[in-house]
Structure 1
Amino acid sequence: MRRLFHRRKKLKGRVVLMHKNLLDAKNVSTVRGVVDTSRCILSSTLIDTLSAFSNRCVSIRLISATRAAVGKKAYLKGVFTTIPTLEPEECEFDVYFDWDVEEMGIPGAFTIKNHLTVEFFLVSLTLEDVPTREEPMHFVCNSWVYNHFVYTEDRIFFSNETYVPNETPVPLVNYREEELQILRGNGKGKLKQYHRVYDYDVYNDLGNPHTSGHLARQVLGGSDTHPYPRRGRTGRKPTIEDCNSERPGHRIYVPRDEHFGHLKSSEFLSSVIKSSARKVLHLHKPLLDSITSKEEFNSFDEVHKLFDVHELCEGGFEHSFPVPHVIRVSKSAWMTDEEFAREMLAGANPCTIRCLQKFPPQSKLDSSVHGDQTSKMTEQQLEINLEGLTVDKAIKCRRLFILDYHDVFMSFLGRINEDTPKAYATRTILFLKDDGTLKPLAIELSLSQHSSGQVGALSKVVLPAEKGVENTIWLLAKAHVIVNDSCYHQLISHWLNTHAVIEPFIIATNRNLSVLHPLHKLLFPHYRDTMNINALARQSLINADGTIEQSFLSGKYSMEISSAMYKDWVFPDQALPADLIKRGMAIEDSSSPNGLGLVIEDYPFAVDGLEIWDAIKIWVQEYVSLYYPTDVAVQQDTELQAWWKEVVEKGHADLKDKPWWPKMKTLEELIQSCSTIIWIASAFHAAVNFGQYPYGGFILNRPTLSRRLIPEKGTPEYDEMEKNPEKAYLRTITPKYETLVDLSVIEILSKHASDEVYLGQRDNPNWTSNRRAIEAFKRFGEKLSEIEKNISERNHDPNLKNRTGPAHLPYTVLLPTSEKGLTFRGIPNSVSI
């Protein structure tokens, strides 16, 4: 067969593509959108039928990588339908090229023209029986191709070969550079759906002054007062009311290749519809009749009824939410001090607790502005429960820890409490017991003081109590801590430190690293769906009056708080080892396999995370070393240097002058930086995302709002607290409506799509032609499988009490693989939800 094709000077190709999905989310945003889409389908189908009958739907021209040669047009063979499908379905087409390898060389790229009015998703082209090659030649495309008239240049795709810039075959050099220029765009005009431009902008589209003045919001990014990572530019016009704010709309431009795939689009849309329907149904149930945003639940049992099993209602939607993992075994374990403390190590936000270095805790706030913010806790208060140790001795032995949200919220507390005092800034001190678990010792609740010409903190300290009204006060104090923690988790640990900070890397990579570049092939899987989910978040989650503002304590100051925390963001510290050392949770230990000794040996997030971090770094080191044998090779890579320069100076422009940025002059800097990017996008995001519903789905365990301060003795509220502790708790935390909003969203965000690609996996086995790279990646996958077994074994070790705790909830969120759905496990390659 090889000789036959060679004699005829023909090459046979196989093209795989998918048609447009009828349930593409952007086409069903409104009922009108569906109708309009249907009309377009009918009209375009009539036009495209003519092209189909003429067998001239799609043309391809091969480009040589070894000669200055371009082949003749070749057309796909077979019946080509343009009717959008309900299910994702790959279609294969044969194509035959007039190509003499002896004269024209080995193909290295191809251009494609879509002569239809409807776009399609081009999966791949495979050339079979290419002379001089033992295996087929693969072109991995994974891109939407529109009608050729919308492009100024022909769409080009390259083979799965990998080249640093100075090793690019000469015939492909200009094509490589031109493609990057197209992706950069010209920085002008409103970007349309078919554009493929990656560019930067500030967060100026969170507010909606066009609708109402109270929906105006600060522009984040571009200033010293409100710094922020950059997001993808859309080019929308400013509002009339505020020339600095971008005009809102129901569609936000995201490069089409960044949109969800067919399967995920359908599943995400289905989840949104089901969630919305469920909320509407709940609003009509007796449980939530005449609901208002101020109404709370009447009892803990009423909260549990949210998860009762009901028959399916008319239309097939469930009445109830899934039972959160934290109450599947025990309905009351969440109330214990042990579970309260354990979740700081293995809960939804296990990355904030620090080892206490100095007592009393110090504030970093400017005293000339905020007054004295020093903690009012005393050594005597702590030593009551220190098992005979002094505070000084416990600090020296690294047995005191702190969850400190004082500075984070104190700067905003005056505005949050402006109308009605309802929230504290909190500090929580904990003690490491001999059995490796943590015991809370004291909680400091602070209010901002701005009266009688004085500024500072009005603080009170609450100590643990086992019975009576003191026990209720302790439970309420813990609730205020968790409200702080919930806000910090959602705004900082989750949104800022994964979603927001990764987007500039995605933009810079697409603008500066060719698909032929080894780093593009390394990092690309870790960018999947991120720009799209971030755009959706700007529409309904982090926007003015969105889900976060409605259901979290921080309200309309939410994104300002995240901006304030971005000032202290340090890229190298996002690497897990550096993060643990910075928080005092680990010390350098040369005798340890990974060079670290954990201060709390049974710290599930750190133990599991360090194994995954090490596996990532080994994989990155093996891969990168294939292309960069020396530091000089790193320095001479023009695309790499342009990429990093743009990450720092444009993507994170507000922090560009910070001295901690790697200079990207050495191989070690490159390995560490790429490992950090992959860690943030994969394992770290998994750790702070997929525990949201398992822990936070039970609002009593992780309230997001506080609506009043702890009652003072002698008030009616205090008397009520003595008589009915449940009522007092429920009147303090998130009420009914906001609970439904929160649960509806975090249920969706905690689920895996059926087409998810997990760490150690690729969606196409032919992602590179480099055999050594594929072998290294296989070793990476095998190591992750080994880690998965290790995690499971640790979860069954009764001596590791923090692995399961009183709730009997194993720490599974960093198990690398998962099935579809709400599984409380699995590490996707990217920030994909």
Structure 2
Amino acid sequence: MEIYTVTVATGTSEYSGTNNYIFMTLVGEKGESERTLLDNPGLDFCRGAVDTYKVTSHLPLGSLLLVRLEKKRYWVEDNWFCRYVTVEPPGGDKVLTFPCYRWLVGDIKVEIREGIAKTLRDDSLPQLLAHRKTELQERQKTYRWSTWAPGIPRCIDAKTEADLPQDVRFENEKRSDFEHSLNYALLELSLKKLAIRFGKSWNDLDDFKRIFWKLRSPIAEYCMKNWKEDWFFGYQCLNGTNPRMIQRCTKLPKNFSVTANMVQSSMAPRTNLDKELQAGNIYLLDYAIMDGIPTNTINGKPQYIAAPFCLLYQHPDEGLIPIAIQLEQTPGLDTPIFLPKDPPLAWVLAKMWVRHSEFQVFQLLSHLLRTHLVVEVVCVATLRQLPVVHPIYKLLAPHLRYTLEINCRGRTQLLSANGIFKQVVSTGGDGLLILAQREYKVLTYRSLQPHNDFPDRGVSQLPNYFYREHSLMLWEAIHSFVSGMLSLYYQSDQDVQEDLELQAWIRDISQEGFTDLPNFGLANKLSTREELSTLLAVAIFTSTAQHAATNNGQFDWCAWIPNTPCTMRQPPPTDKDAVTMEMIMATLPDVSQSCVQMAITWHLGRTQPDAIALGQYTEEHFTEGRAKELIDKFRTELKEIEDSILRQNEGLDLQYLILLPSRIENSITI
């Protein structure tokens, strides 16, 4: 008689426990143990419980291969979340850990493998090979590709979050907080609208202070005080919500009719525009992608957009400042060049129009498309093509948490025909999809890699570009960590080439997820360890640091509505001398639109109460010592980056802390 000591850990979130019957069978190389009822129904497997039992076998099992768990209904159906199982064989041999981290829903039987990561090459036993194959066949039935709209990355086949499997849903606490947070923000701002007596427009810029009640942040208040300053405008191009729009300008676009004489007064003494172009001190924001996008109609009234050029100059004393703005792509008499020396209201309104375009681009392209939708492709392919025991699955799983549900909610609650964008954003409705389709056509894999993106945009030498400095530190740490982990499981490039599951995964990403992108630049096969390291680093960097850079500061920079308006209710000005405060107030979002903008950016940008920080792995998918050592080393590097960022920000009035590792979530959860 062989007696095994087993320990079963139940999840710690709400409703993780169960009162159903739980059975266990140990599956070994030489046979199976008794099918053992583990608990007294209703007494064990409580939330957070770690329960110990004895499982017997009449014959020696040999090497343990699988743990089979069965859940059977007792009185009422009650789902169960199992974290892990440990098994101590007879004679006090090494305790084996079997990670689970999944829901058992309904009357179900699941088999879980011991935690040592193994590629397909590492398995030779028919039983384990069959287990891998069956697992993937079941997952491919559960997780299917779908097309939400043509011309953008493909997504999970789920009309709403309710269609998703339980394993990728929000935990109950997350769901409750998410829904309460949005309702709280909208309710508070509804009360503000009542207090403002249903005013349709604001009277002057100071009126926007009337919605700064409980929803506020230090940077939002700093923004409220400094938003008109040119240096502050330039700072946001580097460290705001869309810090990768700016590019070096070596030659003025032909359709940007600015001249050297126009901007001479903005230049330092003894220089001119041509000299500064050659010196690399002139930069450009070009919103050509906005040109001709259909505009929204809100409450029966048309909204307006622009497709601006904004020229910026790295001034030796004043820093990065805007020096010329053209609000449309086609020059002409009705498309003036706005300059800092123009009437103050005209210059302020021109900058508002640039920032309004910025709102559209950062929300729909930099944030939605380039982080949420890109990572969803990796998520779906991983769930379809890599078994749980695969080292790449184990590496990516913590960085895919909640992403499918938040994306489903985004499609139904933000971007749908009746969603929040349709209610308050100038590109809501048809425009947002056309804008995303345009960006998707020119999306490149290379641009998702920060060490390439910065030199490609010519911004490697821009001073005070904290986003660049912090991004590169994080990229190097992530890439180094990934490379180290891969070296444990792939000894050569040939190992990568011969991993059939891995090759199926990259084909799913490139051919199923990123369809119709001939110039994307991602091959449909992996030939080297370095190619694999880079792809994994892109996936992890995008789901952590890049998402944080575009998401986490949106309330800071958008709460003061004139700084980054979500819509414009009048067309761009055609006469600089005709701009009045009445025109500005009639153009900016009305009271209702302003309140919704403030509510949604607070809801999406706030720190999540159940956030798991970058590098913190609460689910231990890796059990082997060498992998754990590399994880500890990664955490040490992140702590060093954190300390470096904090030292850099000491004494600064306007601190850039968005990319502190402790403030970056491990996955896209909001």
TM-score range, shorter chain: over 0.9
Q: Following the alignment from structure 1 to structure 2, what is the Cα–Cα distance between the partners of residues 136 and 275?
A: 49
Are the aligned partners of 2:286 and 2:308 in contact in 1 as well (CA < 8 Å)?
Answer: yes
Whichever residue aligns with residue 755 of structure 1, its letter is: D
> Residues 789-830 of structure 1: CA distance to partner in whole angstroms, max 9, x if unpaired?
110111126xxxxxx5xxx3200000011xxxxxxxx11111
1:274 aligned to which of 165, 184, 190: 184
Q: Following the alignment from structure 2 to structure 1, what is the Cα–Cα distance between the partners of residues 84 and 303?
A: 63
TM-score of the two chains, using structure 1 as the length reference: 0.75
Which residues in structure 2 correspond to 1:261-410 (within 5 Å)?
261-283=171-193, 285-287=194-196, 289-291=197-199, 295-308=200-213, 321-329=214-222, 331-359=224-252, 361=253, 374-387=255-268, 388-405=270-287, 407-410=288-291
Whichever residue aligns with residue 71 of structure 2, its letter is: K
Q: CA deviation at 1:132?
A: 7.4
1:786 aligned to which of 640, 651, 655: 640
Q: Following the alignment from structure 1 to structure 2, what is the Cα–Cα distance between the partners of residues 612 and 457?
A: 47
Q: CA deviation at 1:302?
A: 2.5
1:130 aligned to which of 65, 89, 95: 89
Q: Following the alignment from structure 1 to structure 2, what is the Cα–Cα distance between the partners of residues 273 and 441?
A: 42
Are the aligned partners of 1:547 and 1:742 in contact in 2 as well (CA < 8 Å)?
Answer: no
**Runs of at least 5 residues in structure 1 that lack an aligned partner in the other structure:** 1-7, 25-44, 186-196, 204-219, 222-226, 237-249, 309-320, 363-373, 450-455, 586-597, 798-803, 818-825
Distance 1:338 1:645, change over 3 A: same
Whichever residue aligns with residue 221 of structure 2, its letter is: R
Query: Could you tell me which residue of structure 2 aligns to residue 588 of structure 1?
Result: none
Query: Could you tell me which residue of structure 2 aligns to residue 812 of structure 1?
Result: 657
Query: Could you tell me which residue of structure 2 aligns to residue 38 of structure 1?
Result: none
Which residues in structure 2 correspond to 1:132-531 (within 5 Å)?
135-148=94-107, 154-170=109-125, 171-185=127-141, 197-203=142-148, 220-221=149-150, 227-234=151-158, 252-283=162-193, 285-287=194-196, 289-291=197-199, 295-308=200-213, 321-329=214-222, 331-359=224-252, 361=253, 374-387=255-268, 388-405=270-287, 407-412=288-293, 422-435=304-317, 437-446=319-328, 459-465=335-341, 470-531=343-404
> Residues 231-262 of structure 1: CA distance to partner in whole angstroms, max 9, x if unpaired?
1113x6xxxxxxxxxxxxx7641221111123
Q: Following the alignment from structure 1 to structure 2, what is the Cα–Cα distance between the partners of residues 448 and 623?
A: 52
2:72 aligned with 1:114, yes or no?
yes
Whichever residue aligns with residue 335 of structure 2, its letter is: S
Q: CA deviation at 1:296?
A: 1.7
Q: Following the alignment from structure 1 to structure 2, what is the Cα–Cα distance between the partners of residues 118 and 434?
A: 70
> Residues 629-687 of structure 1: CA distance to partner in whole angstroms, max 9, x if unpaired?
11101000010000001111111122267555374101110011110111110000000
**Runs of at least 5 residues in structure 2 that lack an aligned partner in the other structure:** none
Q: CA deviation at 1:511?
A: 0.8
Distance 1:713 1:672, change over 3 A: closer
Q: CA deviation at 1:329?
A: 4.7
> Residues 466-502 of structure 1: CA distance to partner in whole angstroms, max 9, x if unpaired?
xxx7110000000000000010000000000000111
2:622 aligned to which of 768, 773, 779: 768
Secondary structure in structure 1 of the residue aligned to 2:562: coil
Distance 1:787 1:447, change over 3 A: closer
Q: Following the alignment from structure 2 to structure 1, what is the Cα–Cα distance between the partners of residues 338 and 44?
A: 67
Whichever residue aligns with residue 681 of structure 1, its letter is: S
Distance 1:435 1:107, change over 3 A: farther
Query: Could you tell me which residue of structure 1 aligns to residue 492 of structure 2?
Result: 630
Q: CA deviation at 1:584?
A: 1.4
Query: Could you tell me which residue of structure 1 aligns to residue 665 of structure 2?
Result: 828
Q: CA deviation at 1:21?
A: 4.6
After TM superposition, the structure 1 stretch with the greater mean CA deviation from structure 2, 423-432 or 480-489, is: 423-432
Query: Could you tell me which residue of structure 2 aligns to residue 736 of structure 1?
Result: 591
Whichever residue aligns with residue 700 of structure 1, its letter is: P
Distance 1:478 1:101, change over 3 A: farther
Q: Following the alignment from structure 1 to structure 2, what is the Cα–Cα distance between the partners of residues 69 and 286?
A: 73
Whichever residue aligns with residue 298 of structure 1, its letter is: N
Distance 1:99 1:122, change over 3 A: farther
Are the aligned partners of 2:161 and 2:169 in contact in 1 as well (CA < 8 Å)?
Answer: no
1:77 aligned to which of 21, 27, 39: 39
Q: Following the alignment from structure 1 to structure 2, what is the Cα–Cα distance between the partners of residues 645 and 421?
A: 42
1:700 aligned to which of 562, 583, 601: 562
After TM superposition, the structure 1 stretch with the greater mean CA deviation from structure 2, 522-531 or 553-562, is: 553-562
Are the aligned partners of 2:490 and 2:529 in contact in 1 as well (CA < 8 Å)?
Answer: yes
Query: Could you tell me which residue of structure 2 aligns to residue 666 of structure 1?
Result: 528
Are the aligned partners of 1:641 and 1:664 in contact in 2 as well (CA < 8 Å)?
Answer: yes
Secondary structure in structure 2 of the residue aligned to 1:649: helix
Q: Following the alignment from structure 1 to structure 2, what is the Cα–Cα distance between the partners of residues 462 and 558?
A: 27
RMSD, matched Cα = 2.8
Q: Following the alignment from structure 1 to structure 2, what is the Cα–Cα distance between the partners of residues 267 and 542?
A: 21
> Residues 328-369 of structure 1: CA distance to partner in whole angstroms, max 9, x if unpaired?
35742111111111011111111111111322x25xxxxxxx
Q: Following the alignment from structure 1 to structure 2, what is the Cα–Cα distance between the partners of residues 274 and 419?
A: 28
Whichever residue aligns with residue 269 of structure 1, its letter is: E
Q: Percent identity?
A: 24
Distance 1:658 1:688, change over 3 A: closer
Q: CA deviation at 1:420?
A: 5.5
Q: Following the alignment from structure 1 to structure 2, what is the Cα–Cα distance between the partners of residues 267 and 701?
A: 29
> Residues 484-540 of structure 1: CA distance to partner in whole angstroms, max 9, x if unpaired?
001000000000000011111111101111111010111111101000000111111
Q: Which has the higher contact order (CA 8 A, sep 6+)?
A: 2
Distance 1:180 1:395, change over 3 A: same
Whichever residue aligns with residue 110 of structure 2, its letter is: R
Q: CA deviation at 1:77?
A: 1.9
Which residues in structure 2 correspond to 1:485-634 (within 5 Å)?
485-556=358-429, 557-585=431-459, 598-634=460-496
Query: Could you tell me which residue of structure 2 aligns to residue 209 of structure 1?
Result: none
The count of residues paired between Structure 1 and Structure 2 equals 665
Whichever residue aligns with residue 103 of structure 2, its letter is: W
Q: Following the alignment from structure 2 to structure 1, what is the Cα–Cα distance between the partners of residues 664 and 458?
A: 26
Are the aligned partners of 2:13 and 2:171 in contact in 1 as well (CA < 8 Å)?
Answer: no
Q: Following the alignment from structure 2 to structure 1, what is the Cα–Cα distance between the partners of residues 335 and 30?
A: 76
